[in-house]
Amino acid sequence: MTISVRSLHPHFVGEVTGVDICRPLSHAEAAAIEAGMDRHAVLVFPDQPLTDEQQCEFSRNFGELEVTLAGQMAKPEHRRFGDRLELGDISNLDGENKLRARDDHRRMYALANQLWHSDASFRAIGAGYTLLHGRVIPGKGGNTEFADMRAAYDALDDATKVEIEDLVCEHSIVFSREQIGWEVQSDGNADKLRPVPHRLVITHPVSGRKSLYLSSHIGGIVGWPVPEARAFIRDLTEHATQREFVYSHAWRVNDLVMWDNRTVMHRARRFNDLKEVRDLRRTSIKGVGLEVAVLQAAE
Ligand SMILES: [Fe+2]
């Protein structure tokens, strides 16, 4: 089989065929996929019936797996995957595989995924790649949308590029939940809620292209009054998510979608989550290259 990539969006999304990612990859296959990520930023692998273990194995080709914050903060009896904290539960099911109630706390927490964000940007080192696998897909709605932050950066006018070049934003999970009126309870995890700094403009370690590191987790810009910072971040987000920069993925069962949080933002779209099951499994890789942004931001 030969790996081939067909464009689903002219600038940044490819569909990959000619590789079975349920079995161990050769070095050449892993390198080809990584090169495809550097070029596109989002890759879709259709018809890949991965088990949880196979998804983790495939993901490890690209770096160290992260444990999920939601998993860390959930009580063990509420986790669907037990101690497997590197597997994120992106579903509307509770610990007993029943649909979550409308006022379920974890449903409230997850609803903020409908805001544009970069995964784990509330951590000192955010996620690099995220890999999401579709197990149960609702009949209508529930797409995931992606916005190309490199194209969005390129389209800024020169004066704005100069103004934002050295800005440092503060990210926390508290800020994204605040936007939908949900207060995150620290429950002994206050250290995980503290804002962390990241540069607004980051450079991809391989392609060298600049992109906007935006996220709904941003609550401030270092040295700026909060209202001015938040209004400006809203403006930039609006600019960066214009339709020309966006691809909307309509899920099929056994799609594996992989994206680079250093070059795209994403958001979930609504569906009738009180009546229909949506069950996706997430793995994510530590964001190599973002440490540089952290160090420079801390100077
Ligand atoms: Fe996400």
Q: pLDDT, tens digit, for every residue of 166-191?
A: 999 999 999 999 999 999 888 888 88
Cβ contacts of residue 150 below 8 Å, gap of 6+?
12, 41, 204, 209, 210, 211, 263
Separation of CA 158 and ligand 1 centre (Å): 30
Query: What does each C-alpha distance from 56 to 22, 47, 77, 282 come to in angstroms?
Result: 10, 17, 22, 9
| Residue 176 CA to ligand 1 centre (angstroms) | 12
User: Could you tell me which of 261, 269, 288 has the C-alpha nearest to residue 119?
Assistant: 261
Q: What angle do CA 241, 207, 129 make, to 5 degrees?
A: 60
Backbone dihedral angles phi then psi of residue 146, each to the nearest 5 degrees: -125, 145
- Residues 123, 170: contact at Cβ < 8 Å? no
Contact yes or no for 248/76 (Cβ under 8 A): no
Rounded distance from Cα 268 to ligand 1 centre (Å)? 8
Pair type for strands 218-221 and 279-286: unpaired
pLDDT at 293: 54
Q: Are the C-beta atoms of 149 and 286 separated by less than 8 Å?
A: no
Maximum Cα–Cα distance for the chain, whole Å? 56
CA–centroid distance, 115 to ligand 1, in Å, is 9
- What confidence score (pLDDT) does residue 295 get? 53
Residue 113 CA to ligand 1 center (angstroms) comes to 6
Q: Separation of 84 CA from ligand 1 center, angstroms?
A: 19
The rounded Å distance from CA 114 to ligand 1 centre is 9
Residue 90 alpha carbon to ligand 1 centre in Å = 9
Gap from CA of 118 to ligand 1 centroid (Å): 6
**Distance of CA 143 from the midpoint of ligand 1 (Å):** 12
Distance 199 CA to ligand 1 centre (A): 19
- Local structure of residue 58 (DSSP, 8 states): H
The two structure tokens encoding residue 177: 């939940």
Rounded to an integer, what distance in angstroms lies between the CA atom of residue 71 and that of residue 81? 9
**What per-residue confidence (pLDDT) applies to 168?**
97
259 Cα to the center of ligand 1, angstroms: 10
Question: 85 CA distance to ligand 1 centroid (A)?
Answer: 16
pLDDT at 213: 97
pLDDT at 219: 98
Ligand 1 centroid to 74 CA: how many Å?
17
Regions of the chain where pLDDT drops below 50: none
Q: How far is the CA of 2 from the centre of ligand 1 (A)?
A: 31
